[in-house]
Amino acid sequence: MRHSISRRTLLRGVGVGLGLPWLEAFAASSASRNPVRMAVLYMPNGVNTAAWNPVGSGRDFALSPTLEPLKDFKDQIVVISNLYNAGSRGGDGHYAKEATILTCATIKKTPGADLANGVSMDQVAAQRVADQTPLPSLELGVSPVAIGVDAAVGYTRIYGSHIAWSTPTTPLARELNPRAVYERLFRASSGQQANSAKTDSLLLDRVLGDARRLRSEVGTADRLRLDEYLSVMRSLEERVQRAGSATKNPWKARAPLTKAVPSDRPASHPEHVTLMLDMIATAFQSDTTRVCTFMFGNAVSDVSFRFLEGVDSGHHDTSHHAKNPEKLRQYAIINRWHIEQYAYLLGKLRSMKEGDSTVLDNSMILFGSALSDGDRHDPHKMPLVLAGRGGGRIDAGQHLVCSEDAPCANLYVSMLDAFGAPVERFGDSTGQLPGLLHT
Amino acid sequence: MLILAASSILTAQQPDYSFDSAKAFLTTHCQKCHQAKSPAGGFNVERVTAPASLQDNERKWLSAINRVRNGEMPPKGSPAPDVDSREQFAHWVAATLRSQACSDGITPGPAPIRRLNRDEYTATVQDLLDIHMNIGAALPADGAGGEGFDNAAETLFLSPLHSEKYMEIAKMAMDFAAKEFKSRTKILVAKPGPGVTPDQAAREILKAFLPRAFRRPITDADIAPYMDLFRAALKQRQTFESAIFFSLRSVLVSPLFLFRSEPPNTSSEPRPLDQYALASRLSYFLWGSLPDELLFDIAAAGKLHEPQVLKGLIGRMLRNERSLIFAERFVGQWLRIRELSANKAPDPKLFPTYYTDEELRSDISIQPIWFFRELLLRDLPLTNLLDSKFTIGTGKLTKHYGEKPVGRAANQQPTWIELPADTHRSGGLLGMASVQMVSSYPYRTSPVLRGAWILDSLLGTPPPPPPPNVPSLDEAHARATPTSVRERLTQHRADPVCASCHSRIDPLGFALENFDAYGRWREEEAGKPVDNSAELADGTKFQGPDQLKAYLLERKDLFIRNLTTKMLGYALGRGLTLKDSCAVDDIVAKVKENNYSAQTLIESIVLSVPFRYQAPVSRSPKEEKKP
């Protein structure tokens, strides 16, 4: 709650000389205030830039063919142009760029032994509010982690399969099964966790003891692995104990979970994506978590898009269009399909009332790709759209044209501020992103 | 260790390539930035005065040649050396580093602690509890590291998701076991009754269970905390059974179970591995699960290091049906067959039978796995993987390949069959649908993908990625225009930058054009006869799969070296180091001496220094502090 009112608002308040009663008002409003949620939807392989770029800037802009499915949300979105993630320079065409979309770091070229990235901005947010919801964050996807190491470029494909990193060496595994996500949300929010809290705590206490003992017996490098174990088990223990203690656990579901239990075997790629997006909506509506990342595919994903009328190839294959007009057309169709899915989620969140506002009003849903033109693996001018008003902080309804190659880390600094997890710096940030937040 | 395996075949090493040639390369292409007081990246090529200079900075050199091979260095804007000189330079550096590393013999590399991966976890819990339930299915899949396998210690990280799943699965597994007669008999070796207190019974149960779960003998210090847990559960008024199952449940979440760790070698010299640790290495290599009673007994007798004992065990372990797990995991990842169930699944509209015919689907993906295992069991030459007079057939597969069922091939069960004498088109891995499918797009074939697959998966010489800003090849719309894929590729190779690699990649794929994207044989495509002729940059010509296989057989040593590198990486569960490549050399030599025998490969790996020995552990006092 520390950050639920920005410094600027506070200063303004002091400026007009409000006294003690104002403080009470502050306390009351902060308790009832709707929490801000944040999700990132990541699309691999870049965009057909000609079909992506909107015309005009500021409030007076026209959606591009690719962004057209967002027309009902035009006053709720900010299309952001010209940002660049400098950490992704060098390296190969995909992993170095896509793995760092949320970390703004430079990954270490390795088949695995010394995996290194940065902490992703969603995890900065999640770590800040971990004690406020049953789950600190959700990492979701539809394609399993890619097999093998990419021998041609010398990176493990783990890089391309993870955008959320809780530490520079720990990518977060994603849940791919919609039913399992549902069950996880259900367990976390239904009190089931509270019922078994006592025995679970006993058990966790025991295994933590084993881990400490083992840790004292092994060499330095192995300790890092055991620290990882200790860390995830301890955080589970904390969550279990919080769930089991009425005094420590003021959390209540803001809405019951949807009754519709999703399939655990979606019949097609589109159905799989829809079900996962449904889970994000239900997680945010119930406030089971406030932070989520979703990957439409892994970096270099070649998922077949032949299910779309007019497309005859896979995603990555199509992205290497070599300026062939037919391939560019197909590339744009694939991009647009992703935007349609994004619009579907936005529509869902907007239909969820929350007092006088909607869940969408209280969210920041970022859609983006780490590449602009996938054919050239171009990391400049990242295609990004931010939707939702972030609880009123986001100046939505504009095409925000930033200065050329402004750090995309600045966007994350602003988002983290609106989320209530302000940071001085993030990656190569130089400050806030001018024009994004209401002043 | 990609670099060392990738001693290039793209360019054959010129015998007269010397230190002077390498030095000239450095001076011409690198020195401008990498010199003087503040060289770029702290990497000063002026200091390279003799081959021995490379030793000072082994790791940096390995990473440097990788970047040179891939065209990342020299950076954009500098005059770029052509692909041949890059390959030759990289090859020379790799060979020099290796010969230096091997000059003082073979030593063991690191043996990091590692989490059981999803498959190992599942198999281990199944064996431990004697249950048959795919309990690991809920765990997230593991990515790969090292030599490209999901058992690489370095990439088996833990997420919060794992912690929740381990808790749930442990409960589910124990609840299930508590109801199964077989499991109960195995686990509940004592019960309270006249003369036996609950405490005594619980202790007996733990004494039997813990050594198997922890894969080593246990001490009182191991049992005591689990006894405490049992008592705590009793205090919560649980029954004896639910209290002991609760205590056992926590075993399945303990790091002593979830991680494989070996007693550290605190001496200053390499030493033979602890017997039980060796038993685990062996069983996780060949079975993907915990050691059985016999392995434990031999370890307890202290005889596991004896070569004759190990050889006998290997034969026995391969004959056990659990070695199918090894074959599936190794072959599925080495050849990338596993991708058939992910983004290489064939297009459902073009190839509907893959989805309607479950038997065919399973036969397709299991064919190379069975074949590989048969080579091991029959101890046949590994060169059969490149070409063979035999294959594994089933009725469905024979029909799929458009061949007449011969004798036993009409069977539903996978059968070892002899191929017709006039053609080997179905022989070896390249005769299998699964291989032709993973190296195609889901909806059409691609000579480029097939060629690259052969260079990478079979020969261990992956082609470098295309240089940035080179117009990529538009194969896909061949059908929209009058030109064929082949003509487009020819066009593409007219660009010398493209030609430098594609003239080595594409021909390999052309020879396989008779296989469609579903691995079926075809004589015609779109009404025209299939052109399966190919010519490499050096003028070598071949036509069709038989001649391609003959060409690959001439390169069998490269293939064997790649297979050995992959398998040693799999067996050790980590990326190989420069030192390990000395062991690879040694193993390859033994395999060749024994006419490429499949079992020799397994035996030589198991008997190798990296597999059986342990390096001294590094301990830095600074990091003693607990987090």
Q: Is A141 in a helix, a strand, or coil?
A: strand
Q: Using a CB–CB cutoff of 8 Å, tell me whether A171 touches chain B.
A: yes
Q: How far is CA A18 from CA A7, A297, A351, in A?
A: 15, 51, 37
Whether the CA torsion B607, B608, B613, B614 is positive or negative: it is negative
Q: Using a CB–CB cutoff of 8 Å, tell me whether B77 touches chain A.
A: no
Of the pLDDT bands very low, low, confident and very high (cuts 50, 70, 90), residue B42 is: confident
Whether the CA torsion B306, B308, B311, B317 is positive or negative: it is negative
B452, B518 Cβ separation under 8 angstroms: no
Q: Using a CB–CB cutoff of 8 Å, tell me whether A219 touches chain B.
A: yes
* Cα A325 from Cα B388, distance rounded (Å): 45
Q: Where are the domains of chain A?
A: 34-185+257-419, 191-254
The ipTM, to two decimals, is: 0.89
The residues, ordered by sequence, that sit 6+ positions from A25 with a Cβ below 8 Å of its Cβ are: none
Of the pLDDT bands very low, low, confident and very high (cuts 50, 70, 90), residue B75 is: confident
Give the mean pLDDT of A17-31.
41
What pairing do the DSSP bridges indicate for beta strands A384-387 and A77-84?
A: antiparallel
Mutual angle of helices B293-300 and B275-286, in 10-degree steps = 150
Report CB contact under 8 Å: B115, A225. yes
A93, B465 Cβ separation under 8 angstroms: yes
Interface test with A, best of B150, B162, B163, B333 (most A CBs within 10 A): B163
Question: Quick one: tokens of A172?
Answer: 């977060």
Task: Search chain A and give the residue with CA nearest B156.
Answer: A225
Unique residue bearing structure tokens 């992993």: A95
Residue B624: per-residue pLDDT:
41
CA distance A160 to chain B (A): 10
Q: Where are the domains of chain B?
A: 2-102, 328-553
Contacts of A93 in chain B (CB under 8 A): 465, 468
* Cα B258 from Cα B481, distance rounded (Å): 57
Residue B407: per-residue pLDDT:
59
Q: Using a CB–CB cutoff of 8 Å, tell me whether A20 touches chain B.
A: no
Give the mean pLDDT of B9-14.
53
pTM (predicted TM-score): 0.91
A84, A380 Cβ separation under 8 angstroms: yes
Q: Using a CB–CB cutoff of 8 Å, tell me whether A324 touches chain B.
A: yes
Of the pLDDT bands very low, low, confident and very high (cuts 50, 70, 90), residue B406 is: low
E strand or H helix at A204, and its extent?
A: helix A197-217
Of the pLDDT bands very low, low, confident and very high (cuts 50, 70, 90), residue B498 is: confident
Task: Search chain B and give the residue with CA nearest A116.
Answer: B155
Report CB contact under 8 Å: A229, B158. yes
Unique residue bearing structure tokens 């819990």: B125
Give the mean pLDDT of B445-463.
93
B242, B233 Cβ separation under 8 angstroms: yes
**Mean of per-residue pLDDT scores for chain B:** 89
Residue B409: per-residue pLDDT:
52
CATH says A34-185+257-419 is which class? alpha beta
Unique residue bearing structure tokens 């279990």: A240
Of the pLDDT bands very low, low, confident and very high (cuts 50, 70, 90), residue B405 is: low
Residue B476: per-residue pLDDT:
43
Of the pLDDT bands very low, low, confident and very high (cuts 50, 70, 90), residue B473 is: low
- Residue A300 region by backbone torsions, left for phi larger than 0, else alpha for psi between -120 and 50, else beta: left
Q: Is A385 in a helix, a strand, or coil?
A: strand
E strand or H helix at B123, and its extent?
A: helix B118-129
Please choose, from the candidates A436, A116, A152, A137, the residue with its C-alpha nearest in 3D space to the C-alpha of residue B461. A152
Of the pLDDT bands very low, low, confident and very high (cuts 50, 70, 90), residue B469 is: low
Q: DSSP of B251-284, one letter per residue?
A: HTTSHHHHEE------SSS-EEPPHHHHHHHHHH
* Cα A318 from Cα A304, distance rounded (Å): 10
Give the mean pLDDT of A186-193.
82
Helices (H), A80-167: 95-98, 121-129
Report CB contact under 8 Å: B158, A180. no
The residues, ordered by sequence, that sit 6+ positions from B351 with a Cβ below 8 Å of its Cβ are: B517, B518
Q: Using a CB–CB cutoff of 8 Å, tell me whether B72 touches chain A.
A: yes
Contacts of A375 in chain B (CB under 8 A): 472
Report CB contact under 8 Å: A206, B226. yes
Of the pLDDT bands very low, low, confident and very high (cuts 50, 70, 90), residue A25 is: very low
pLDDT in tens, A32-83: 589 999 999 999 999 999 999 999 999 999 999 999 999 999 999 999 999 9
State percent of chain B over pLDDT 90.
Answer: 64
Report CB contact under 8 Å: B160, A236. yes
Give the mean pLDDT of A321-342.
96
Report CB contact under 8 Å: A151, B2. yes
Contacts of B347 in chain A (CB under 8 A): 304, 306
Residue A321: per-residue pLDDT:
92
Task: Search chain A and give the residue with CA nearest B462.
Answer: A152
Residue B619: per-residue pLDDT:
57
Question: Quick one: tokens of B152?
Answer: 């690489």
Question: Quick one: tokens of B165?
Answer: 């799943």
pLDDT in tens, A294-321: 999 999 999 999 999 999 999 999 999 9
Chains A, B: CB contacts under 8 A, how many? 250
Contacts of A225 in chain B (CB under 8 A): 112-115, 158, 259
Which pairs from B390-393 meet CB under 8 Å and 24+ separation? B390/B416, B390/B417, B390/B418, B390/B419, B390/B427, B391/B367, B391/B416, B391/B417, B391/B419, B391/B426, B391/B427, B391/B431, B391/B432, B392/B367, B392/B416, B392/B417, B393/B417
Residue A7: per-residue pLDDT:
41
Contacts of B161 in chain A (CB under 8 A): 139, 172-175
* Cα A77 from Cα B235, distance rounded (Å): 58
What pairing do the DSSP bridges indicate for beta strands B390-393 and A165-167?
A: unpaired
A61, A55 Cβ separation under 8 angstroms: yes
Please choose, from the candidates B101, B92, B94, the residue with its C-alpha nearest in 3D space to the C-alpha of residue B22. B92
pLDDT over threshold 50, residue B5: no
